[in-house]
Amino acid sequence: MPKITIIGAGFVGSTAAHWIAAKSLGDIVLLDIVEGAAIGKALDLSEALPIIRSTVTVRGTKDYKETKGSDVIVITAGIARKPGMTRDDLLKINTKIVADVAQQAIPHSPAAVVIVVSNPLDAMCYVTLKSSHHPRKKVIGMAGTLDTARFHYFIAEKLNVPVTDVDAIVIGTHGDTMVPLPRHTKVKGRPLLEVMKKEDIDEIIKRTINGGAEIVNHLQIGSAYFAPGAAIMQMVDAIINDTKKVLPCSVWLEGELGIKEVFLGVPVSLGCDGWEEVVDLRFNKEEMAALEKAAAQVKETIQSAESLL
């Protein structure tokens, strides 16, 4: 049975564990430094296994030694941005947390594929790569899968069609410079641009970019976790089952698509060894310009993170 470690037993980490257990993708180790947090949630999830007919085991711990031999490591550790907190404040705190996690977890599982979820996402991917010296194709950021799901859902909702009738993709950053791709989106096999007005598409793109904030505004306390947890599961599924499924993920580029030395969300095929190749969707000039703008923004954040390592 494959072994999947999830570091951070908060809402996102524990919900990801739930989705992974429900699909019986592998035995789960849930780790958190807060005394009892991972153990309690792992026990609760374990007691659900007979009901959901899952064949996996779920263990909670605060000891990194128990993660040894993991096939996949998911890093959700870190704090969420709070009111009054600047992005620099968040970067400083989470850089330290994520670097520490990577340095403690990855040596126990040197062959693992690492999925980074902590924010600011693209910078935390760099922190993980830099602090662990892990192979670049085994460090992958979860962002585009979530942003794509939101874009996908908003289109289906607007057109009143089943979500299964929509095929969509979002690349770029997990933030203001994300790049939804209407030209590559289809509804019941037809191009989105043929079935929806431009102003409606623009409104959905804006809503997608602000998708996380919309949920935070409704909840008042806390942020999204069902969809992020499911997005993590989708990536774990592709890796564990070596499906080569193409998903938008944040990866370290070294010339792919003409972009170098930056983590950026692009379509990649995922398998048991991590991401295998970037899939070129033949972006037009406007799409490439948006992607290059996103890359420039991430490079600035990475430079700030670099100074903290």
Q: Is the pLDDT of residue 84 over 80?
A: no
CB atoms within 10 A of CB 92: 14
Mean pLDDT of 61-75: 99
Q: For the chain, what percent of residues have pLDDT higher than 70?
A: 99
pLDDT score at 82: 72
Largest CA distance in the chain: 55
Rounded distance between C-alpha atoms, residue 262 and residue 125, angstroms: 10
Token pair 């993920």: residue: 249
pLDDT score at 273: 98
CB atoms within 10 A of CB 127: 30
Fold of 144-306: L-2-Hydroxyisocaproate Dehydrogenase; Chain A, domain 2 (3.90.110)
pLDDT score at 86: 74
Q: Is the pLDDT of residue 220 over 90?
A: no
Report yes or no on whether pTM surpasses 0.95: yes
The active-site residue, picked from 133, 174, 184, 218, is 174
Average pLDDT, the chain: 96
Q: Is the pLDDT of residue 250 over 90?
A: yes
Q: Is the pLDDT of residue 83 over 80?
A: no
**8-state DSSP, 9:** -
Please say whether the structural domain 3-141 has been given the CATH code 3.30.1150.10: no
**Domain layout of the chain by residue ranges:** 3-141, 144-306
- The answer to whether 236 and 72 are in contact (CB under 8 A) is yes
Rounded distance between C-alpha atoms, residue 223 and residue 214, angstroms: 9
Q: For the chain, what percent of residues have pLDDT higher than 90?
A: 92
Q: What is the pLDDT of residues 152-175, one digit of tens each?
A: 999 999 999 999 999 999 999 998
pLDDT score at 93: 95
Q: Is the pLDDT of residue 208 over 90?
A: yes
pLDDT score at 89: 87
pLDDT score at 135: 98
Band (204; pLDDT cuts 50, 70, 90): very high
Token digits of residue 94: 């989470």
Q: Is the pLDDT of residue 50 over 90?
A: yes
For residue 134, indicate whether it is catalytic: no
- The answer to whether 62 and 91 are in contact (CB under 8 A) is no
Band (55; pLDDT cuts 50, 70, 90): very high
CA 119-72-122 angle, to 5 degrees, is: 25
Q: What is the pLDDT of residues 89-142, one digit of tens each?
A: 889 999 999 999 999 999 999 999 999 999 999 999 999 999 999 999 999 999
Q: Is the pLDDT of residue 176 over 80?
A: yes
pLDDT score at 302: 96
Q: What is the pLDDT of residues 7-23, one digit of tens each?
A: 999 999 999 999 999 99
pLDDT score at 222: 85
Token digits of residue 4: 């999947």
pLDDT score at 38: 98
